[in-house]
Each structure stands twice: as C-alpha cells, then as structure tokens.
C-alpha cells in the first residue's frame, strides 16, 4: 500500500527531497524531520494542546477505555462515508493523540494524520507510522499537499480552536478531490457556557505555560470533581459554578476513566487559545459559499457536525 499524495513544500508547492534529517524544496525551504516526523510548522498557539496530548496520550482511545465512544462519534459524523473508507486516502487534521486515528486505521483508510502541536508525537507513540499511516506536524492553513488530493478530509474537535474558522474550513475543503468528502464539526453557541464560570477561569488559565496550565487544571479537577460525583439533583447548579468537565451519568466510564477524562477535557476547555462558536445557519452558509454538495448538518457531539462533497 502507498499513501499518496506526496508531501510538497507548503510555502511554494515545490517538490521535496530528503536532505539528511530534513526535507528540502528547490528554492531552499528546509523542514526538519525529527523522531521520524516531518515538521512543517511550529506549535504556536497550540502548545497547550501538545502538552495535553502527550500527558493524556491514551485516555480517550477506545482500545484503552474498552468502550466505543470514539468509534460511535466517528461513525455518526461520517454517515455513508464510514462504509467507503477501506483503501481511501484520508487526511485527518488536528489528529490529537489519535482517538479517531485508531478507528480510521481499523477501517482500512490510507491515513495521513496532521497536527500543529506535539500531539503528533503522542499520535506516533500510539499509532507508529507505517505503510498505512503517516504523520506530519503542519498547520491546516499551510498544508504540505497539492490541492484536491484526498478522498476524505476529516477534522473533528479542531476548527473552533483555530484563529478563523471559515478560513480553516476553506483550507480543509481545498484538500478534497472532486467527488471526495469533507467531514468536520464545530462548537455551537451555548448559553450554558456563557453563564458558567468557565470563561472566567479560562481567561486566566490560557495564559499559563504548558506545565503550569496542566498543574492548575489538575488542582481544580481534584478539588471539584467529587462535587460532580455526588451532585445528584443539584448537578445543574454544580455545572454552573464549577468549570470542571464531568461525565457522570453521561458516558459509560469507570471511576478512573471519569477522573482522567475530567482532567483531560477540563484542560482542553480552559487552556485553548482560540474558542469560537457558530450557529447551524452559519455553518450551512459557509458550506454553501464554498460550493459543497450533498451537505448534511446535524446538531450532535461538539455541537454541529457537517459533511459534504466536492462536485465531480
Ligand atoms: C481539541 S484537540 C482535538 C484532537 C482530536 N481531533 C480529538 O478529537 O481528540 C484540537 C487539536 O487541533 C490541533 N490544531 C489546532 N489548530 C490547528 C491547525 N491550525 N492546524 C493543525 N492542527 C491544529 C491542536 O494542536 C489539537 O491537537
């Protein structure tokens, strides 16, 4: 099996050749390869995510939790594409540690996993590159591929964390070949979030260094998670005053997994540098302006799940 398309220079589209421990294009742009992963970008605003995925490398993998939480979410988002993955070139953008990478590989996709941060190292530790899977550190806005290259472009949990969601969706769509699919999701507008204390905590915590940020969210979760566990009928009140992401009664996780998911997702929710919200109508408009066909948009998961295809 061969994963196509080949990498090209993200700056000018030039052909890349291996030059020692780097990739080099004819005009001299140089991209280091470290730990077997080509590095086309620096983590930038995504540093906290990198630290998060290295720290919680296995927490949300179905093979670790013994559940089908990630598989079910991916299957729902992909719709009919789920049955078409075997042998298809799939680009997963913002792969994180690989909760969806795992399922995409199981489905037989020829997978390229890309992330802006050190999450690529966690992903590689979980699912080492081989003839079915390759990994690159790259920015969605400057991807190292020619346009219209992939059968499926998949991006869950990411677009709302980029500086300009509409520009990100357009960049993802550029990678889709004629007849291919774009599948992504986005946070929806939630009054519940605005009325909670989370935005206040986030305003402070997002400015901390990766190690301090992990320590701070760790302390918050350890102090407040017991309240969520015992909340019972006052759970809505506890959710209003506590910024902890807790899944008691929502996800079939044992006590240790409940704690680890709370640690991970509270960090995720309070340490992201960019956080955007969109309505269903806004996502519909973006898809329509880009010219996607067969668009299906549902309110699920992170808020809004969307898929559509590029006209042939
Ligand atoms: C909330 S995590 C989701 C990870 C994974 N998709 C999941 O659902 O577990 C968002 C990920 O998007 C990555 N990311 C953010 N902006 C990006 C960009 N411009 N290009 C590539 N990856 C990006 C972050 O580094 C982070 O790993």
Q: What torsion, rounded to 10 degrees, do the Cα atoms 93, 246, 49, 46 define?
A: 80
CATH number at residue 156: 3.40.50.150
Domain that holds residue 91: 51-188+278-309
Q: What angle do CA 74, 290, 288 make, to 5 degrees?
A: 80
171 and 134 share one domain: yes
- Residues 238-262 as b or e (16 or more Cβ within 10 Å = b): bbeebbbbbebeeeebeeebbbbbb
Which range (68-82, 104-118, 180-194, 292-306) has the least confidence?
180-194
Question: What confidence score (pLDDT) does residue 248 get?
Answer: 93
Q: Is 242 left (phi over 0), alpha (psi -120 to 50) or beta?
A: beta
56 and 141 share one domain: yes
Q: How many helices (H) and strands (E) does the chain have?
A: 12, 11
184 and 195 share one domain: no
Q: Which of 98, 114, 158 to mutate to test the pocket of ligand 1 (most atoms within 8 A of CB)?
A: 158
Residue at 146 is within a domain: yes
Q: Which of 37, 38, 46, 77 to mutate to test the pocket of ligand 1 (most atoms within 8 A of CB)?
A: 46
302 and 226 share one domain: no
263 and 134 share one domain: no
Can you name the residues that pair with 24 across neighbouring β-strands? 17, 30
Question: What confidence score (pLDDT) does residue 2 get?
Answer: 59
CA-to-CA dists, residue 52 to 215, 220, 265, angstroms = 11, 16, 9
Residue 232 confidence class, pLDDT cut points 50, 70, 90: confident
118 and 174 share one domain: yes
Give the pairing of strands 22-24 and 17-19.
antiparallel
Q: Residue 114 Cα, ligand 1 centroid: separation in angstroms?
A: 9
Q: Is 10 in the pocket of ligand 1 (CB under 6 A)?
A: no
Can you name the residues that pair with 134 across neighbouring β-strands? 112
Residue nearest to atom 4 of ligand 1 (CA): 96
**Count of domains for the chain:** 2
Residue at 35 is within a domain: no
Residue at 24 is within a domain: no
257 and 231 share one domain: yes
Residue nearest to atom 9 of ligand 1 (CA): 96
209 and 102 share one domain: no
pLDDT in tens, 272-282: 999 999 999 99
pTM of the model: 0.96
Residue at 208 is within a domain: yes
Question: What confidence score (pLDDT) does residue 3 get?
Answer: 64
Q: Is 140 in the pocket of ligand 1 (CB under 6 A)?
A: yes
Query: How much is the mean pLDDT over the chain?
Result: 96
């Amino acid at each position: 099996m061969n994963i196509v398309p080949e990498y090209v220079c993200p700056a000018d589209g030039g052909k890349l050749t291996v030059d020692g421990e780097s990739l080099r294009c004819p005009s001299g742009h140089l991209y280091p390869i470290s730990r077997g992963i080509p590095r086309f970008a620096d983590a930038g605003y995504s540093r906290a995510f990198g630290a998060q995925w290295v720290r919680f490398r296995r927490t949300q993998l179905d093979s670790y939790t013994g559940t089908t939480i990630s598989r079910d979410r991916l299957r729902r988002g992909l719709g009919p594409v789920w049955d078409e993955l075997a042998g298809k070139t799939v680009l997963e953008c913002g792969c994180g540690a690989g909760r969806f990478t795992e399922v995409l590989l199981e489905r037989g996709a020829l997978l390229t996993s890309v992330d802006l941060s050190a999450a690529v190292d966690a992903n590689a530790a979980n699912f080492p590159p081989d003839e079915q899977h390759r990994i690159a550190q790259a920015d969605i806005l400057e991807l190292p591929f020619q346009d219209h290259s992939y059968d499926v472009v998949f991006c869950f949990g990411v677009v709302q964390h980029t500086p300009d969601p509409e520009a990100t969706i357009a960049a993802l769509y550029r990678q889709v070949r004629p007849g291919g699919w774009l599948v992504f999701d986005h946070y929806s507008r939630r009054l519940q979030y605005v009325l909670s204390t989370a935005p206040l905590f986030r305003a402070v915590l997002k400015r901390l260094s990766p190690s301090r940020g992990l320590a701070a969210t760790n302390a918050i979760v350890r102090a407040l998670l017991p309240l969520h566990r015992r909340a019972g009928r006052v759970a809505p009140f506890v959710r209003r005053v506590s910024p902890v992401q807790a899944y008691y009664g929502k996800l079939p996780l044992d006590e240790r997994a409940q704690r680890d998911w709370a640690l991970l997702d509270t960090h995720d929710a309070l340490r992201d540098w960019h956080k955007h919200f969109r309505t269903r109508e806004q996502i519909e408009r973006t898809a329509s302006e880009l010219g996607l066909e067969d668009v299906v948009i549902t309110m699920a998961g992170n808020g809004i799940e969307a898929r559509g295809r590029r006209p042939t």
